[in-house]
Amino acid sequence: MDRDSGPSNTADAKKLTARSAARAFDVLEYFIRTGRPARTSEISASLGIPNSSVDELLRTMAIKGYLAFNKDSRRYSPSYRLMALMRGLESRFFGDGRLRKMLHRLRVETGGTVIMTAQNDCWLESIAQIQGPWRTPPTSQTDKTWPIVNFGEHGWQPATNFAGALLSLHSNSEIIDLAVHTQAMGLAPKGNFVMQGLIEDVRRIRSRGYAITRRDDVMPVSSVACPMRIPGTDVAVAVGILSNDLLGDDASARKIAMTTRHVIYDHCRRWKDAA
């Protein structure tokens, strides 16, 4: 009789460990999304994870002190220790609320909706939004996760202007590697396609310092995005403004872009001075 009922080999053990780690983050994101305590069965049903697996995960996180468990209601909720950890990470890496202050300042100075996006592997994700007078439509790029580069009828190109702003912080070889990785992930057709157009697009964005987007070739500018490296970290983001009323043409987009770049520069300078 086999005495070991666990994973059959090291590779299986690594897969289970990675899956458990991913599920732990899923649980934390569940609490962020719902904003209320929950029973094991609720989390299991929402995340599509077996009840027994969720129960074990929640118990472990509670033992470690990152979740609190109420014996009367049988509900779990984030603990103060977890909140303190998150605040500590924000303070050390992201300036103790400085990013939020910068986004609010941009909202005041431009009057538009302010968006911050970040790169996650070959994906582009919206990580913060401060709503302005223009209500972004449900299908806007702020509500989606996009491949940072895509392949369309005109060849390789940045998926959005926010993606273009982030790509402008990459070297040309890194951009090509991202496109190849996108193919390997099955997000673009396989083949040795020429990437010169993609490199040229990013070069123009890098030279100008910001990227714009239009709904089509003749419609007004609807969004402008600028790259930003967060001081003291390896984190890069794209910060942009969306507004039908403010942008309209290249001249107004350039004005908003200069305002955005100035606010980013000023906050980064203050950030470094305070370090």
Summarize pLDDT for 134-192 with one digit per residue, the tens.
444 434 444 567 889 988 888 899 999 999 999 999 999 999 999 999 999 888 888 88
Mean pLDDT highest for which of 4-8, 59-63, 85-89? 59-63
Evaluate whether 250 touches 142 at the Cβ level (below 8 Å).
no
Nearest by Cα to 183 from 148, 213, 154, 216? 148
DSSP 38-82: B-HHHHHHHHT--HHHHHHHHHHHHHTTSEEEETTTTEEEE-HHH
Residue 3, pLDDT score: 39
Give the model's pLDDT for residue 95.
Answer: 60
Q: How far apart are CA 103 and CA 94, in angstroms?
A: 13
Q: Is the pTM of this model over 0.95?
A: no
Other beta carbons within 10 angstroms of residue 96's beta carbon come to 14
Judged by DSSP in three states, 237 sits in strand
Mean pLDDT to the nearest integer, 231-258: 83
Kindly report, residue by residue over 24-82, the tens digit of the pLDDT: 888 888 888 888 898 999 999 998 888 888 899 899 988 988 888 888 899 998 888 88
d(CA 16, CA 14): 5
- In this structure, are residues 235 and 192 in contact, taking their beta carbons and an 8 Å threshold? no
The chain-wide mean pLDDT, for the chain, equals: 82
- Predicted confidence band at 250 (pLDDT cuts at 50, 70, 90)? confident
Q: Which of 29, 73, 70, 69 is nearest to 49 (CA)?
A: 29
Distances (CA, A) of 136 to 131, 141, 201: 8, 9, 26
Query: What band does 130 get if pLDDT is binned at 50, 70 and 90?
Result: confident
Burial of 193 (0-12, 13-18, 19+ CB in 10 A): middle
- CA torsion angle for 13, 16, 22, 23 (degrees, to 10)? -140
Rounded Cα distance, 187 and 194, in Å: 17
Q: Where are the alpha helices (DSSP H) in the chain?
A: 10-34, 40-47, 51-63, 80-94, 98-110, 161-167, 172-184, 196-208, 250-274
Cβ neighbourhood burial of 140 (10 Å; 0-12, 13-18, 19+): middle
Can you tell me the distance from the alpha carbon of 27 to that of 56, in angstroms, rounded to the nearest whole number?
A: 12
Residue 5 confidence (pLDDT): 45
Tokens encoding 27: 């649980």
pLDDT digits (tens, 9 = 90+) for 222-242: 889 999 998 877 788 999 988
Q: Mean pLDDT over residues 100-107, rounded?
A: 90
* Residue 43 identity: I
pLDDT over threshold 80, residue 87: no
